[in-house]
Structure 1
């Protein structure tokens, strides 16, 4: 895969909506995505190494009408509308192979295997793969100029031993130079993890 290094020099053209996605919500989504990644790997392992099914436990479930009734009993419509506004836009999860041109300009949580790193100045270009599809993870000028990211600059080299580990990251999907090529631009250092650890945590682990 050709890494779109030239794109590191460009300023993002669309307005970044990361501020509307609360920090805690993004972190929770990253943790959930890591679990989802593990579940997908487990299912793949079970297909290759099938085992006898365990007896299923009976679960008590509620009907959709019951759930809606309970929700309406707790909140009136105005409160529900306000909660929806506070929640902000949806943060959709995508494995690398699920990304398409429809995702361009949107904030997505990207999942895949961290397969390569190329150090570029104070940051790096990461390559993430899944199902024989690849995407470049880039950190452009806005990342470098963001004061919250100072402890991440010049420290991307610590990721090298983690090649082959699961990657999860929240960023904006942008078009590459070639037709059909996509890359993911991340703004905050806390918005990506490798093996469920952020870069600072990896650095402290040594």
Structure 2
């Protein structure tokens, strides 16, 4: 991963993908690489990334699939995201740091807007009102949904609410992220998630 073009200051990068795609690993690896190249990098995540947003995270990712409706989820995600932006993302960008977020608004567009009812208009309206910013570059780590679910089962833990919605839901998510990339080719890059993590990281760095 050495070499490559230097990244401009004040860059906002997000990683997206279905559950178990390996996006968190790739976000961490890119952060490590950019730090080695001399950049200040803030590595963060959603839902979460600030004290208030982390409290909301537990409400969203734990418990049964039926815990919240998609409409309620949209409101909770936007509340967490607003706090994340105010307390973590904007201050980092203001000092010309690179921000790498493990998920951002595209997850809400796909998880709640495109796959759990036709809620895209509501998602976009709330985004315009309360969030307003977009990443400069978004990487979608693309893998087979059955592999993602297997990884999630092997990982264990309590944050399995969305995995519990089953293979059909994960297949809808994959299609939703592919459609998003087609709609926003100037920002969103699909990354082949097959192979070892170092191999995938090379693909990410080349796409950046």
Measured against the shorter chain, the TM-score band is under 0.3
TM-score by length of 1: 0.25
- Higher relative contact order, chain-length normalized (CA < 8 Å, sep 6+): 2
- Higher share of residues assigned helix: 2
CA radius of gyration, larger in: 1
